Each structure stands twice: as structure tokens, then as C-alpha cells.
Structure 1
Amino acid sequence: MPGARASASGDDAAGVHAARLTIGAVLAALRDDFPDVTISKIRYLESEDLVHPQRTPSGYRKFSRADVDRLRYVLTAQRDHYLPLRVIKEHLDALDRGLPLPGTGPAPPPPAREPDRSVQEPDGEPAEAVVPPLTPDEFARAAGLDRDQLADCVQFGLLVPDAEGRHPAGDLPIAQAAAGLARHGFEPRHLRAFRTGAEREAGLVEQLVAPVLRSRSEDARARATEKLAELAALSAQLHRALLEARLRDLLRP
């Protein structure tokens, strides 16, 4: 149940080998349903006592599946029901005590996808299931593009297929954005500036974390991975804020 508090003792009772996720893995698990979620947002919800991950001896957060369900519950309540965090916390506190919700709350979230237990992370925990690449037809259909538009996205560098011409599912947000812009008259050739800007931003971020990523220390690499995700979120926030400010200028008399 999403309201069940994921305490350390409770999880231990459920089994000391229960899978635990890094904050980056949690972000990846939530992104499909909540594209705007960021590592900073997850940390904020923790600071508001809405989710309770364990901490490793080095201080890194480790989330249980119950923690992820709890986050889904909070994010769904905010997005679909516009509930303030104070009210959501009252709902979760009621669920923690085994009481009925105070009024009609959001529907329970869907269960988290089971991990692929045939793949192990470096610390011995099962990794998230890997979605296989999509054929061009599957990818275009999922993105809302026709084959010509998909070919143009590849030609102008927005999408990079593998050696067999397939596309990673992780590139779907790019293709879906291109499809949405196409409905407003933007062709892939018009979007090269976005690709160039993203490459420059990635280069700046790489300068900050590349030395750590080369480290053989798993803790150091975990810190770098978390920092990468946070920097990406902040870069996206800055890009959106600058674009919105420029568009506001266009509306001024």
C-alpha cells in the first residue's frame, strides 16, 4: 500500500535482500508518468517527511519499492487532484495508522514494475528491467511521427539510431516533442538549434563531473551520477525560464 511507511525495521522484516534503489533509479522509474519530477523534488518531498528512504553508511539514499509507491501517490495527488502537501501528508498519516482517508483521496498508484532479477547492479541489487530498442515503425508510432518525419529527425541529428536502425525507448521524449512541434509547423530542420544548445550544455556539465566519472570508486561514481541528474534538471529549468522570459518580451507592447 502506498501509505505504508517504509521503515528500516519493516523492510528488514520483509527481507534483508529486498531491492533498494538509488535516487537516480527512482527518478528514472517515475519519469514516464511524471516528466517534470527532478531529484531536487524528491529530496524536497523527503524533507517534508512524505517519504523515508534509508541511508547508507556513506549517506546515500536507498529507496524501497514502497518508497517509490509513496512518491507516486504524492505526485498523483498533486497533479490530478491539486492537493497541497499538507493535505497529502494528512492522507498518508491516516494510511500509516490504518485509518480511512479523510475524504476522497487520489486513487492508489499502479504497482512499480518488477526489476529484472537476472541483471545485478555493482552492489548486488537487481537492476531495473531494460526496455529493448524499438524498430523504426514501433518508435514512430509511439512518438506520433510518420516515417518521413522520423527520417528527418535522424538526418538533422535529433535522434541517433543504433547500428541496426533501432531507437532506444529513452529517446521517445525527444521524438514526442518533435512530433508536437511539427503540429505547429516546426520541421526537424528547424530544431537543430535545440540540439546544438543541448550539446553545449552537456559539454559544460561534463567538465564538472568527468573527473569523478573516471574514478574506480563506486561511491564516487554514485555521487557523480546523482550530480549529473541534478545538473540536467537545473539546466532544463534554466532553459525553460530563459525561453519563457524571452517569449514574455514578445508580448509586451
Structure 2
Amino acid sequence: MTEMMRTLKLNKLVTAAALCAALSFWAAGVSLGCPSLQLDIDGGTYSSSGDGQTKDTIVAPSDTFTLYAFLIPNWANSPGDTYYISAAVVPKTGPDRNDLGYFVFDDERVDVTDEMTYGIPPLEIATMQLRDAGDLPRHGIYYTYFWEVGFNFDKDWKIQKYDTQERAIKGAPIPTTGEGMYYVTFLVDVSGLAPGYIIHFDLYNTKIKCNGDVEDVDVTWFAPFSHDAESRVRVPEPSSLLLLGLGLAVLGLAARKKGSAAFRKPQ
């Protein structure tokens, strides 16, 4: 009897562990093989250690780059749905607004942070932006300012199915032919962003549900954090560094002159 109880208890533990694993995969939007939703950057590499970038994400090779959004249809995601990309400021900034320059997303200029929203995606009414259980996971990115854009996949735009994380780690090129995965491309330019900042991109699907008299927007599926993408850390231009150096030199010279005058003997 004791042995039977032990066996039943072990079976329950195994079942519970399997259920937890399945739920974890579902929550991250991971199917067997490649995730249903993924992001990639043409020429992007994988940041596994950080080094100023967000750890475990795909990083752009330059300030101007092509961002790819991918869809592998499943029971929850179809090509006919509307999908969203959020562009978040990293490191975290807010809730006070700061003038951090701008970036361009497919010819649309976005002023950072004046044309962005503070909180966690998805974009919804202000009272829900900071306290909604249906938001994206924080992943060390949020709360911060973000901007959101909706789009649709074209059923005629397909590409060979692949895992964007694996491609970035290997440094392989993005396939240009094939079937199995829908894609959309966006041209991004962050050269106007303030030095020291990054734009981090998330991809997700949403649904609207009624919460009393309020329409609550919840994320139903999202690209795993390991399959997100972001711009590289902005560094000052050489001309800016030169001007900064000249400014410091002038300040230093002025300070020395002031010090010399203070110790000069009166005539």
C-alpha cells in the first residue's frame, strides 16, 4: 500500500512538472521548433553577455537597419490578425519626460519621449497602462517609455522557416526564399537618438475584452524575449566628442586664469 501511494505521488509530481513546462512554453509563445512570433535584424548579432546591450537579444549592426517580423501560424495566430511592434527606450526612463532625440520607423519620425507612452505594452487607456495583468512581461525593460505600431502580414510574403536566435548566434544570413513563415520588414533609423540609449523591439498579438465599462487590451501571444531585437547603443559622433573636448579645454583654461588672478600680488 505504501509503495502504491509513493508511485501515485510520483506520477502526480511528474504530471505537474510537465504541465508547468507546457504552460511556460505557451506563455512565451513557443511552439515545438521555432516560436510562432519572432523578430530579427538584417546583419544582427546575438548579445549573450550584455556588454552595454540588453542580454539575450538580437542587436543591430548599425544605426540604420532592417527589422524583420515573422509569423508561423498556429491555433492562436493567423495571417489575418493585426499584430503590434513596440519600441521601448532602454535604459528605463520616466515617468518624467526627457528629450532623448528621435528615431524613424518606416518614414515615421518618433520623438523620444514626447510621442511615446510610459508603462508596459500593449497601448491602452491611461488607467490600465501601469496595472494590467494582461501586459507584456517586464523582462527588465519596463516600466519605460514606448511607442506602438500595428500591422498585418501579407499572405504572399513568405520565407523559409528558421529560428532567429540560432541565426543570430551563428552569424548566418537571413533566408531570402522558401515557405513556412510570413514576414514583414521595417526600415529603422536611430541615428537621431540620444547617446547611451537603445530602442528595444517587442512583437505581440492582442485581444480586447470588456472590464466593466472599460475595454481592456491584453497580450495573447508574444515573441520570446530571446527572439526580440534592438538597436545598438548610441555613441556620440566624433564631431560631438571634439566639441565636448574643446569645451572642457576652454573651461579648464578659464579656471586656471581665474586661479592665477586670485593669487596675483596687488600693484
Q: TM-score, normalised by structure 1?
A: 0.22
Higher gyration radius (CA): 2
Q: TM-score, normalised by structure 2?
A: 0.21
Structure number with the higher strand fraction is 2
Which structure's relative contact order is higher, taking Cα pairs within 8 Å and 6+ residues apart?
2
